[in-house]
Every structure is written in structure tokens, then in C-alpha cells.
């Protein structure tokens, strides 16, 4: 079977997480653990071929970086000069729609149309191809904007002509795709379908949405907790989820967060089935974690005994773990001061010097209890200069000299074929927001 995954905003992290999850056997999710066969990919969407059907609803809940999971229905050839709707003008017949796309529903059926691009050149400046307008073909542009409405109206006419009562839901004017909130609130997956077109220069994939990210639940996990700390900045639950999925740990294994703050990584680890340990030097943070996790445990029916918090300096955490096995570490390390404008070079230099000293002490401490081949997934600071330029810690050699290898966030065999990825020179990935100066560089270290 073929599936398409609609990627989150930081698509490099989305793909890294997806590959990590799909390459780890999981019977409940239908994952065999064989190497992922990627058919095509772009900044928006990644298409794979799977030997067995996947448990898409379970997989959607597990993945923090995937917005939607689609089933690829058909592959159609397209001439480069043809518009998307022209290439599909004979495809969406009532029999095809009812058999391959629409869910049976008594009453007025609802469907939406979304377009995802494999060739991002399609959104650039409009220009006509070929000589004039042969055979009455409409003038063609590279731009797909307006195509969801044209395709939607074509499908709607096909269905209404066959006697079907139908309602069409379209993306906003400046968008090609429906947001997950629109799909959910309009009950498209229950009352009909979200029909998706994945467009390349010479190929079109038709697909239907099987699962969408639960935006309401992420909002609860982030904003309805008893304790928040906006002043210090908090790792978003989705990013915590991605980092946990990158850790290589198996379900029910123990993960430590030695900079746990108010417990975001701890809570997300529990939802993924891990046993979690959290420590922080800040007593108030530990109290906040305990309050949050009590709320979280009751809200999500987490069995008691699955997590524990302790006040501790991360550089002295080993003494808390005597007789305790820790299978991996996932943490947002101290990022240093937060800024509203780009700091002076001397400030950055001092911050990196101080933090490098801290991290070296921490990793030396981790060596006392981490088993060989276990991994540390850690956020370290990177200062955002402009859209794609960052001031990063100049070296992490002091950590690798302690007996750790820096692991590529994506296997090189996959990364080399995806030229659009945004990887740093040391093959890490950066998560940021446009309104933040201090971004997160996500690194994976493996103990020798």
C-alpha cells in the first residue's frame, strides 16, 4: 500500500521522526521495521510504499510532526504544460468517487479538496507553456492557486448530476490545502472525504485523507495544564514527541529528562508508552511538574508508578539512579538567556562558553549510568540571524571526546536523495519560530 504524510512546518524534523518510527518494528502499528521505501517527497508531503497496511490512527497519534496521513489511490501521468484540473478532467467519475474516495453516508455528503506539491516550482511566477492555446485547451500557468475550487466544482457537478446531495468545503483563498481543524470541524472523514491531489511536474497522485492531527488535544496538553512558564520558554508538546521518537527507545523502557522544567517531555513520553524520570535543579519547576503530571495522569488515565520527579543538578544526577536502568535521555538542555533582539557577539560567545562547560559536565555524568549504544536527544541553543541563518555552538567536540558519537538526525542514505532538507553542517536539525531569537538545535548523541 502507498501512504502520503503531510509534513509539519519544520519538515526536516517531520521526516526524521517519520523515518525513525517507520524503521522500528511495531506490530500494533503494522510496521515491519524494514527500510522505508520513499517514492517521492517535498517540503509538504512524503509518499511511501508499505508492504503491509498501517494502523494510521495509531500512527497519527504517535507522530508529532505529521499533520495528516493519506492513502494514495491512483497515479496519473500529466504533461508538464497541463494544469492539474485539465489532467484530471476525465478522472473523477461518480463510480470512481463512490468506490475509491467517498465514505458511505446517509444524508447530505460533504467533501473537501486539498492540493499538495511535490514540485515547489509550481507556486512560482505564472507563465504560459507551448505555442498559444492548441485544441481549445485553457491557457496554462505554473501556479496551482484556484485549482482546488476548479477541481472541487468539477467533482461536485459529477456527483450532483448523478443525484447525490453534496456540500463542498474549500481551502481559504491564499491556501491550497484544508487545515486539519477544517477537516475535523466539518466532519469530512465521517460524512464523505477529503480528496487530495499530490502534484508533480509530470505525475499526479490522487489520495484520500485517513487521519488528521488532533489539534484540540495538543492544545489541552499545552495550555490547559495547571502550571505554565512562558517567561522561560517551553518546548512545544509536538517537538517533545518528535524528540522522544528519535531516541530509539522501545515502549516501556525508561527515559530520563534531567532538565525537565514543568514536565512537557515527561508527559509526552507517558503518552508514547515510556516510563519517565524527571529531574531539575529548580525546586519550583519540580513542584510545577508534579502538579502538571497529576492533572495529566488523571486526564489521560495514566497508571500510577510510570514516572518520578526529583530535585537534582543535571551534573550530579547519577546518584539518584543507583540500581535504576536508564535506556535513554531526551531533554531540552539549558538554552541560556532569552532575547527579543539579536544579542551582541560577545554575549553569544560568553553564553556558548558557559553552556559548553555545563553540557560537558552533564555528559560526563551521563556516562556513569547510560548503557552502550543508548542515545541522548538534546536541544542546544542556536541564535537566529535571519530566515535560514543561525549562530550555532561553534563546537561540540568536547562532548564527543567523552565517548559519544554525534548521530545524523536522518540516515545519510535517505538524506542524500532529499535535496530540499534543511540540515546543519553537522547533520542536525533546527526547530524555531519566526518570533524567537533563540532557536533549538536538536542533536542526537550515541554513547560508545
Q: Mark whether 252 and 206 lie in a shared domain.
A: no
3-state class percentages of the chain: helix first, strand second, coil last, to nearest 5: 30, 25, 40
Q: What is the mean pLDDT of residues 339-347?
A: 93
Per-residue pLDDT tens digits for 299-321: 999 988 999 999 999 999 999 89
Per-residue pLDDT tens digits for 65-90: 999 999 999 999 998 888 999 999 99
Report which of residues 208 and 387 the model is more confident about. Answer: 208
The reported pLDDT for the residue numbered 122 is 73
User: How far is 32 from 254, CA to CA, in rounded Å?
Assistant: 23
Q: Mark whether 198 and 238 lie in a shared domain.
A: no
Band (pLDDT 50/70/90 cuts) for residue 372 is: very high
Band (pLDDT 50/70/90 cuts) for residue 232 is: low
Per-residue pLDDT tens digits for 163-192: 889 999 999 878 999 999 999 999 999 999
Q: Which CATH number fits the domain that encloses residue 106?
A: 3.30.2130.30
**132 pLDDT above the threshold of 80:** no
**127 pLDDT above the threshold of 50:** no
Q: Mark whether 195 and 252 lie in a shared domain.
A: no
Q: What is the mean pLDDT of residues 107-128?
A: 79
User: How far is 334 from 441, CA to CA, in rounded Å?
Assistant: 12
First and final CA of the chain: distance in angstroms?
38
Q: Mark whether 262 and 385 lie in a shared domain.
A: yes
The alpha-helical segments, DSSP class H, found in 36-165 are: 56-62, 84-87, 94-96, 147-161
Q: Mark whether 87 and 197 lie in a shared domain.
A: yes
Among 180, 213, 246, the domain-final residue is 213
**419 pLDDT above the threshold of 50:** yes
Q: Mark whether 255 and 206 lie in a shared domain.
A: no
**Per-residue cell: 118:** 511535490
Q: Mark whether 178 and 324 lie in a shared domain.
A: no
Q: Mark whether 258 and 121 lie in a shared domain.
A: no
**Per-residue cell: 80:** 508538464
Grid-cell match 486539519, residue found: 180
Is position 114 within any domain?
yes
**Per-residue cell: 161:** 448530476
User: Domain total for the chain?
Assistant: 2
Q: Cα separations (Å) of 343 from 56, 82, 356, 358?
A: 44, 50, 18, 21
Is position 280 within any domain?
yes
- Please name the helix (run of DSSP H) or strand (run of DSSP E) that holds residue 354, with its range, or none: helix 345-366
Q: Mark whether 300 and 439 lie in a shared domain.
A: yes
Query: Quick count: other Cβ atoms within 10 Å of Cβ 389?
Result: 9
Q: Mark whether 419 and 327 lie in a shared domain.
A: yes
What phi and psi values does residue 389 have, to the nearest 5 degrees? -130, 130
Is position 39 within any domain?
yes
**Beta pairing partners, 74:** 206
Is position 221 within any domain?
no
Q: Which CATH number fits the domain that encloses residue 294?
A: 3.40.50.150
Buried/exposed code over 235-265 (b: 16+ C-beta within 10 A; e: otherwise): bbbbbbbbbbbbbbbeeebbbbbbbbbbbbb
Q: pTM score, two decimals?
A: 0.93
DSSP 249-306: PPTT-EEEETT-TTSHHHHHHHHTT-EEEEEES-HHHHHHHHHHHHHHHHHTTPPTTS
Q: Mark whether 251 and 183 lie in a shared domain.
A: no
Average pLDDT for the chain: 92
Band (pLDDT 50/70/90 cuts) for residue 139 is: very low
Q: Mark whether 197 and 232 lie in a shared domain.
A: no
Q: If DSSP codes are grouped into helix, strand and coil, which group holds residue 342?
A: coil
HSE of 143 in the Cβ direction (CA atoms, 13 Å)?
Answer: 9
* Boundaries of domain holding 377: 226-447
Band (pLDDT 50/70/90 cuts) for residue 137 is: very low
The reported pLDDT for the residue numbered 124 is 61
Amino acid at each position: 500500500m502507498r501512504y502520503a504524510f503531510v509534513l509539519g512546518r519544520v519538515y526536516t524534523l517531520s521526516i526524521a521522526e517519520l523515518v525513525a518510527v517507520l524503521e522500528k518494528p511495531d506490530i500494533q502499528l503494522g510496521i515491519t521495521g524494514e527500510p522505508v521505501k520513499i517514492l517521492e517527497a517535498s517540503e509538504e508531503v512524503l509518499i511511501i510504499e508499505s508492504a503491509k497496511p498501517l494502523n494510521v490512527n495509531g500512527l497519527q497519534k504517535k507522530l508529532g510532526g505529521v499533520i495528516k496521513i493519506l492513502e494514495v489511490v491512483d497515479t496519473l501521468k500529466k504533461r508538464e504544460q497541463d494544469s492539474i484540473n485539465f489532467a484530471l478532467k476525465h478522472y473523477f467519475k461518480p463510480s470512481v468517487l463512490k468506490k475509491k474516495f467517498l465514505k458511505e453516508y446517509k444524508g447530505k455528503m460533504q467533501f473537501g479538496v486539498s492540493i499538495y506539491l511535490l514540485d515547489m516550482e509550481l507556486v512560482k511566477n505564472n507563465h504560459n507553456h507551448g505555442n498559444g492555446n492548441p485544441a481549445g485547451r485553457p491557457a496554462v500557468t505554473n501556479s496551482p492557486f484556484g485549482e482546488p475550487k476548479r477541481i472541487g466544482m468539477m467533482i461536485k457537478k459529477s456527483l450532483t448530476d448523478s443525484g447525490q446531495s453534496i456540500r463542498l468545503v474549500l481551502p481559504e483563498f491564499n491556501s491550497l490545502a484544508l487545515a486539519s481543524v477544517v477537516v475535523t470541524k466539518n466532519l469530512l472523514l465521517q460524512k464523505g472525504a477529503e480528496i487530495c491531489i499530490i502534484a508533480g511536474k509530470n505525475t499526479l497522485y490522487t489520495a484520500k485523507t485517513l487521519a488528521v492531527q488532533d489539534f484540540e488535544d495538543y492544545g489541552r496538553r499545552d495550555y490547559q495544564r495547571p502550571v505554565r512558564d512562558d517567561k522561560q520558554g517551553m518546548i512545544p508538546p509536538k517537538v517533545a514527541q518528535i524528540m522522544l521518537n528519535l531516541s530509539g527507545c522501545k515502549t516501556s523502557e525508561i527515559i530520563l529528562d534531567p532538565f525537565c522544567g514543568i514536565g512537557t517531555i515527561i508527559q509526552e513520553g507517558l503518552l508514547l508508552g515510556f516510563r519517565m524520570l524527571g529531574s531539575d535543579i529548580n525546586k519550583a519547576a519540580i513542584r510545577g511538574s508534579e502538579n502538571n503530571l497529576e492533572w495529566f495522569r488523571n486526564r489521560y488515565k495514566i497508571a500510577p508508578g510510570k514516572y518520578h520527579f526529583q530535585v537534582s543538578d543535571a551534573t550530579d544526577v547519577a546518584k539518584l539512579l543507583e540500581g535504576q536502568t536508564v535506556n535513554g535521555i531526551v531533554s531540552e538542555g539549558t538554552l541560556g538567556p532569552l532575547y527579543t533582539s539579536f544579542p551582541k557577539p560577545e554575549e553569544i560567545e560568553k553564553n556558548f562558553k558557559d553552556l559548553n562547560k555545563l553540557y560537558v559536565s552533564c555528559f560526563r555524568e551521563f556516562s556513569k549510568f547510560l548503557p552502550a549504544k543508548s542515545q541522548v536527544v538534546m536541544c542546544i541553543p542556536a541564535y537566529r540571524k535571519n530566515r535560514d541563518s543561525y549562530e550555532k555552538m561553534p563546537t561540540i567536540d568536547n562532548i564527543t571526546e567523552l565517548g559519544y558519537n554525534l548521530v545524523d538526525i536522518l540516515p545519510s542514505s535517505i538524506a542524500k536523495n532529499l535535496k530540499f532538507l534543511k540540515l546543519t553542517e553537522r547533520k542536525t536539525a533546527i526547530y524555531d519560530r519566526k518570533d524567537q531569537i533563540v532557536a533549538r538545535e536538536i542533536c542526537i548523541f550515541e554513547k560508545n
